[in-house]
Every structure is written in structure tokens, then in C-alpha cells.
Amino acid sequence: MIASIRSGRYRYPKNIFATRSFSKSSIELKPTTPSNIPGNSSKSVLIQDQVGNEIKPRKYWKHFLKSKRDEAGVASRVSVFFHEVQEALDIFNSTNQLDLAVKDLEIPSDLAELYSQPGLMNSIAHEVEVIYLTSNGDGLCFVPRRSYLNDQAQAGHTVVRVPKAIPGDIIDVKIGRHMAIHSEGELVKVLNSRSRLTRRNDRLIVCSNFDQCSGCQLQMMNNDDQLRFKQSVIQRAFKFYYPSLYEEFKAKRADGFGSVMDSPMQYSYRTKITPHFKPRRDVKPLDTKIGFNDIHDPVGIVDIDHCPIATPLINQEFPKLKSKVLEELDRVQINKMLTKQRIKAKISPTLFLRDSIRLDHKTGDFDQVCITDTGKVVTEKVGDFVFQFEASEFFQNNSYILPQVIDYIKYHIHESNLNFKYIVDTYCGSGFFGISLSKEVPEKDGKIFGIEISKKSIKYAEHNASLNGLKLPEKAEFIAGNSEDLFSNQVFADSQVTGDKSILIMDPSRKGSNESFLKQLLKFKPMMVVYISCNPFTQARDLQMLNLLQQDGSVQYEIQDVVGFDFFPQTKHVESVAILKRII
Ligand SMILES: C[S@@+](CC[C@H](N)C(=O)[O-])C[C@H]1O[C@@H](n2cnc3c(N)ncnc32)[C@H](O)[C@@H]1O
């Protein structure tokens, strides 16, 4: 079977681990570059399957590398995955008394070529146990190669990544594309779903599209198990990227490290969804699928009418919007249009639905409305504060849990008994954290100062400060710009906000912060730092970097607590909040 591949023309790196070294105690990864990823060779290649069809080089890696997390350097998505495979392998070795290294999992080039496209191979491996759940929400299992290849000469195991499979599941799995050290798998059947061996309970699944839709990963797990999984993600982030803190916290706090606080709503909480479509020439416009990405098909869409994690109002409006969009696609005959024509006609492939409130300014009464135009203004009430922002701009998407996060930060502020005046809100968006904490600063001379890269968001941050009774610029001031330029900014200098009287909030996007920002933070010397992150891996990386940068001892922060908040139940995502206090 493997011999049918034309060999010798496909460039496959001899040893993809040449830049990496793994050992159980210390794992060092250099960022993976596109040039050492198989299939990213710029040379053209000709690979054929058994019946002579050309197989294109594996595009999937490119997609993998382009994801947002991959701006994350050492904590990139590829790097996280390698660490997770190492952890899974440790479990596999210890249960099977083996001594395999990750290097042994490397996929031979001929096998990688053979399995280079989705749908080409349909080998099924039977009765395989899932032993690990990745932070991406996918099960990992180790499949002996002989069990899915006719070629008995093939030795070793393939790590298979199986979406919608969880530890304890015994599964039949279809083996798909082979990557550098793993293969993509498709769950065919769970054989032990009613047993006590697995944490799975399929009766908990409420969505009819769960098996196919890429939106949720964890509906088959009960809420406690989801929280435990998310805590393990925070812990592994620190274990991989800030191991000394991980060891210290584990020794000091046992189970408390990274424990995850529950969302008040496990379903119907998401205040924004963005279903999308991909018009196809061979599909009648009225049959266009509108929904979310299909886990079985990298370019496919799962057609949905309802999303159970979205709010009831969004679900009420979605079918109406969908019908309207389909009628429009039919009217313009989208299937006959070229991409250029679609862009010119301003046909957006993404639908937008966001909950908002409509305020009656005279009475203070409000009702709930669903906004479907990204140019419109959304109004949201969180705790005692009202926020407005343009729908296309960032705002948190689970407003039920936000008061809990604010309470948690307030608790630490009070607990530390700090004599502070200012809250410096970096990566501030439309001012959510600074404004929500504004009652904590002294009434007489306290102030909120925020910085954010989006000019539109800053416009709304200023508007929101006024909306919530904070006088500009005396009580609140916001500037548009890169957070790392804050400390050299003249407006900031003129505001006379000093570090020794400040609490600094940082809430960067998934790629995290950077060395330049952290160096300046150490010079600014705020009394306390609250680091909020939707990516615990880049958060751990940044906190380790901060620790390295403060080695000269002139200023010293101690991490007091790291906790998670379940902003997105049923999904793989977790928000991690770290509290740092200056001790020198
Ligand atoms: C996770 S959001 C948090 C926003 C806000 N704290 C909130 O809770 O609504 C991250 C924000 O950082 C902004 N951002 C990204 N890179 C930035 C940079 N280099 N400097 C300042 N802001 C940045 C984004 O525009 C986005 O609004």
C-alpha cells in the first residue's frame, strides 16, 4: 500500500525534532517555523494516491499556523500541542509500561503522504481508549499502526486527535490526515458510553448539531467535570510555561491552583453569535448552509437554526435573519457571482446577532432587543453600570458571569488594604474593567486611566465614563494607542498618575502581552497587577517573563492567586485571572 507512493520528490524534513528537546522534567521548545513544518516546503511536489490522483501538499499546517494563538511565540498553538502530546504519552507509557518518547511518534514521510488529504483514507481503528483531553477540547488516543494499516511491517503508534471524544471513552475512530506527530481522527462510535469508565453522559447533550459543529466541545460532560478540565488547562499552562510557579502553587495550595468559578448560566448565556456561510457554485442559493464550522470538513459549514449556548432572544431572531439572508442570496443569485462581485456588492459572509438593551431614558425602564447590524450601538448593563459600544467592537460575551469577576478583583483590592488612588486599565476596550471598578478609587482624587488600540472603542470608553457619572478628564481619561506606549505617553505623564498609587489591570487578546510592556510595567511599579486572560498559555508565558525581568531584585511582584472563570460553558475556553502584588 505504501509502496504505491512516488517517493523521492516530496521534501519531508529528516527530523522535525531537530530544534526541540523533550525530557520529562524540562521541556524546551523553540517556536516552530513554517519552514520546518512538513507540507510547507515551497518546492512543488507531485504525490499520488494508489489510483494515480494527485495529492496536494498538506495545507492544514498552514491553517494551523495562521490561527491567532500562533502569534504567541513560545506559547503558540503548535507548541502547546507538543507539550500536551508529551503529557498524554507519559500517561500512555505508565499504563502500558512503555518508554516511548515523543520523537518515536514522528510520522514516517511515506505514511504522512499517504494520509495527506481528508477523505482519502477510511481506515478504522477499533476499541481504542481515549486517555487525554487537550486544551483544544479534543481527545487523544494512541493507535498501534498495525491496527489500521494493512502493512504489517509498520511498527509503532500514532497519536490520534479526536474531536468530541473524552478520557475514558473506548472508541472506534476513523483515521484521517497525518501531520508531523499526530493524525486527525473522526469519532465513529463510543462503545462504552453507558459505563462508569467514562465521564461521558450523552444524555446531557442538548444540541442536535453537537456531533458536527465546532462551536462546543464539552456538552457530554457534566458541569463539575467541565470545571475540573478547565482548571487542569490553567494548571498545565503554568506547568508548561512557568514550571517553577506551578510547582510552588501545587505545593502550597493543592487543588486550589487555577480552580474555575462557575458561570451562573450553563446554556443561553452567550450574548453574541456570528454564524456564517460559504456560497458554492454547485449549491442553489436557498440551500446555502448557514451556521458554524464543520469538525469533519475544514471548509464545510454545519447548517444550524438554533444555538443553545446563545441567549433566547438571539435564538428567536436567528431563523428570521437566516431566511432574510437566504432570500437575498437567491435574489442576487450568489452561486453565479464571482468573489470579486460579492465583495463589490458588499455581501458579508457573516451574520451578526447580539443582545442589547433598549433604555427608556425618562423612566429608566429597559427591554431586550437583538441587534443584527455591526454598525449599530449595543447597550449592556453589568452590575450597576451601563456600557455602550459599537457592535463590531470587542465586548465580553457572557454578561452573567462578569459581576463575579469584578467582585473577585474587588475582594483582592480590599484584602490587600492598599492606599491607592488610580486604576490603570490597559487593553481597556470600551472601558469595562476600569469603569466597573471606579467606585473603588477615592472619591476626592481617585481616577481611572485607560489605553486601548482601537480608536472606536476609546470613543465609547469616554462615552461610558460619562454615562456612568465619571467626569472627564478629572475622574476618567482614556487614550487610543498601543498599551506598551502608555508609559512614555505625554497625556499619561501629564495626568500625574503614578505607579506607587496605582492598580494596573491588563486584559490583552489571546496572543498576550510582550516584553516591552512588561519591562515598562516594572519601571512604573504599580502596587498591584490584575492580569485577565482568555489564553492561560500566553498568560503563563508572560508571567514567567515578568519574573525573569525582575531578577535584579529592585522591584518584586508575588503572584498571590490564579483562578479561572467559566465564561463559556460547554466550550473549551476558560478565562484566567492572576493577582500580583508588589512586595518590593
Ligand atoms: C480581550 S479584549 C479586552 C477588552 C476590555 N478589557 C474588556 O474587557 O472589554 C483585548 C483588547 O485589547 C485591545 N488590544 C489589542 N492589542 C493591543 C495593544 N497592543 N495595545 C492596546 N490595546 C490592544 C483589543 O482591541 C481589545 O479591545
Query: Cα–Cα distances in Å, from 231 out to 176, 226, 440, 489, 542?
Result: 30, 9, 29, 38, 19
DSSP H helices, 97-139, are 109-114
Query: CATH classification of 397-582, choosing from 1.20.210.10, 2.160.10.10, 3.30.70.260, 3.40.50.150?
Result: 3.40.50.150
* Cα 375 to middle of ligand 1, angstroms: 19
What span, in angstroms and rounded, lies between the C-alpha atoms of 341 and 69? 32
DSSP H helices, 431-511, are 432-436, 455-467, 490-495
The pLDDT tens digits for 349-384 are 999 999 999 988 788 788 999 999 999 999 999 999
Q: Is 397 in the pocket of ligand 1 (CB under 6 A)?
A: no
Q: Report whether pLDDT(60) > 70.
A: no
Dihedral sign (CA 70, 74, 79, 80): negative
Q: Is 433 in the pocket of ligand 1 (CB under 6 A)?
A: yes
* Cα 504 to middle of ligand 1, angstroms: 14
The pLDDT tens digits for 464-508 are 999 999 999 999 999 999 999 999 999 999 999 999 999 999 999
The domain locations on the chain are: 82-222, 272-371, 397-582
| Cis before 473? omega within 30 | yes
Q: Does the annotation flag 575 for ligand binding?
A: no
Q: Is 509 in the pocket of ligand 1 (CB under 6 A)?
A: yes
Burial of 359 (0-12, 13-18, 19+ CB in 10 A): middle
The pLDDT tens digits for 430-458 are 999 999 999 999 999 999 999 999 999 99
By alpha-carbon position, which residue is closest to atom 19 of ligand 1? 482
What span, in angstroms and rounded, lies between the C-alpha atoms of 498 and 430? 23
Residues in the chain: 584
Question: Please, are residues 456 and 390 in contact by the beta-carbon 8 Å criterion?
Answer: yes
What span, in angstroms and rounded, lies between the C-alpha atoms of 531 and 237? 15
* CA-430 nearest atom, ligand 1: 9
Please name which of 499, 500, 330, 317 lies closest in space to residue 426, comparing C-alpha atoms.
499
Catalytic site positions: 534
* Cα 167 to middle of ligand 1, angstroms: 35
Residue 120: the pLDDT is: 58
Looking at domain 82-222, which CATH architecture does it have? Beta Barrel (2.40)
Q: What percent of the chain has pLDDT over 90?
A: 73
What span, in angstroms and rounded, lies between the C-alpha atoms of 7 and 91? 35
Lowest mean pLDDT among 189-198, 305-314, 360-369, 534-543: 360-369
Q: Does the annotation flag 393 for ligand binding?
A: no
User: Which cell numbers hold the place of 226?
Assistant: 467541565
Query: Cα–Cα distances in Å, from 140 out to 29, 84, 564?
Result: 21, 9, 24
Q: Is 507 in the pocket of ligand 1 (CB under 6 A)?
A: yes
Q: Where is 90: in which H helix or E strand?
A: helix 77-96
The pLDDT tens digits for 236-275 are 999 999 999 999 988 887 667 899 999 999 999 999 999 9
By alpha-carbon position, which residue is closest to atom 17 of ligand 1? 453
pLDDT band at 18 (very low <50, low <70, confident <90, very high): very low
Q: Does the annotation flag 247 for ligand binding?
A: no
Grid cell 505623564 in the structure block, residue? 493
Q: What percent of the chain has pLDDT over 70?
A: 86
Contacts of 23 (CB under 8 A, 6+ apart): none
The pLDDT tens digits for 70-95 are 456 789 999 999 999 999 999 999 99
Q: What is the C-alpha R_g of the chain? A: 26
Q: Which DSSP category does 101 fall into?
A: -
Q: What is the largest CA-CA distance in the chain?
A: 80
Ligand 1 mutation pick, 453, 478, 484, max ligand atoms within 8 A of CB: 453
Please name which of 283, 377, 368 lies closest in space to residue 334, comparing C-alpha atoms.
283
Q: Is 457 in the pocket of ligand 1 (CB under 6 A)?
A: yes
* Cα 68 to middle of ligand 1, angstroms: 14
Query: Cα–Cα distances in Å, from 102 out to 9, 84, 85, 140, 455?
Result: 27, 10, 7, 14, 46
Same fold, 82-222 and 397-582: no
* Cα 482 to middle of ligand 1, angstroms: 9
Q: How many CB atoms lie within 10 A of CB 68?
A: 11
Whole-structure pTM value: 0.88
Q: Where is 151: in which H helix or E strand?
A: none
User: Which cell numbers hold the place of 569?
Assistant: 460553558
Reduced to 3 states, what is the DSSP secondary structure of residue 201? coil
The pLDDT tens digits for 277-291 are 999 999 999 999 999
In 339-498, at which residue ranges do the beta strands (DSSP E only) sit? 353-359, 366-371, 377-382, 385-390, 422-426, 447-452, 476-480
Q: Does the annotation flag 115 for ligand binding?
A: no
